[in-house]
Amino acid sequence: MANEPTNHTNNSQTVVVDAATFDFETLEQQNGNATVVRFKVENPDVRAGDVLLVLSGSDIHFHGMIGMMEEGHGVATDRRGSLLPATVQ
């Protein structure tokens, strides 16, 4: 009996947020920019594996994968191009 292929689909989505209203906590920073952030997730459809995109107009300030979800918060990482200022709370 031959093995039949299993179809796996990736249903990741991009979560777009305005930089002016994005409330986050800096977990890691480099050169004054937040590279790992923790933020509140209000949409129950957001999952680990989705992409967080923080924009200021058409400028990308943060573009990273959401790697973890816990207790209504997500953690995303952008170690290459983050322009979000590191915050201290």
The residue whose two tokens read 């796996």 is 8
Higher pLDDT, 77 or 11: 77
pTM of the model: 0.84
Please state, for a pLDDT cut of 70, what percent of the chain lies above it: 87
Cα–Cα distance measured from residue 28 to residue 10, given in angstroms and rounded to the nearest whole number: 28
Instruction: Kindly report, residue by residue over 16-37, the tens digit of the pLDDT.
Output: 999 999 999 999 999 999 999 9
Q: What is the pLDDT of residue 11?
A: 81
List the domain boundaries for the chain.
18-77
